[in-house]
Amino acid sequence: MYWLILLMVIVSSGNATIRYIFSNSSNAWLEVQWYLFSAVFLLCSGYTLLKNEHIRIDVVAGRLSRRAQIWIDILGTLFFLFPMALLILTLSWPMFMKSFTMMEMSSDAGGLIRWPVKLMIPLGFSLLMLQGVSELIKKVAILTGDRPDTGDHGHHHHTAADGEAA
């Protein structure tokens, strides 16, 4: 994914440079930019969950016991992450299949084929759900004493000494 980010920056800056210097642009290059952004964002969501870098309310959870934090993670996974990911996966799969079977093309002149970027949605949310299952198993194992609590995967909580708010 790091290479996709680098490629995204190169394509984006190259496209902007060509547009401003030569007053020329290509819809294909603009679409490549958002295809790459979509791939990075969607395919890395499960990895972000693994590294415990997802958005959370540390102001509240940080004041609770570790056991309460684990329960929040379990309940959040069961009642928010899984239903949301399953809903998006269920709704996005037919959209991808329709695009794939029609070999849908962008309506913009010089645009790209659309099914690869539409595949990123169900693929990304499938990976997120799989990581959610893994995290759920780990959290339950910690609560039952079958796994030691290793904390939050090295997530750095900022302190006042860091110059940032917690």
pTM: 0.81
Residues 6+ apart with CB under 8 A from 166: 58, 59, 62, 157, 158, 159, 160
Residues 6+ apart with CB under 8 A from 8: 33, 36, 37, 40
CA 23-41-82 angle, to 5 degrees, is: 150
Q: What would the pLDDT profile of 55-91 be if each residue is shown by its tens digit?
A: 777 777 888 899 999 999 999 999 999 999 999 999 9
Q: What would the pLDDT profile of 78-133 be if each residue is shown by its tens digit?
A: 999 999 999 999 999 999 999 999 999 998 888 899 999 999 999 999 999 999 99
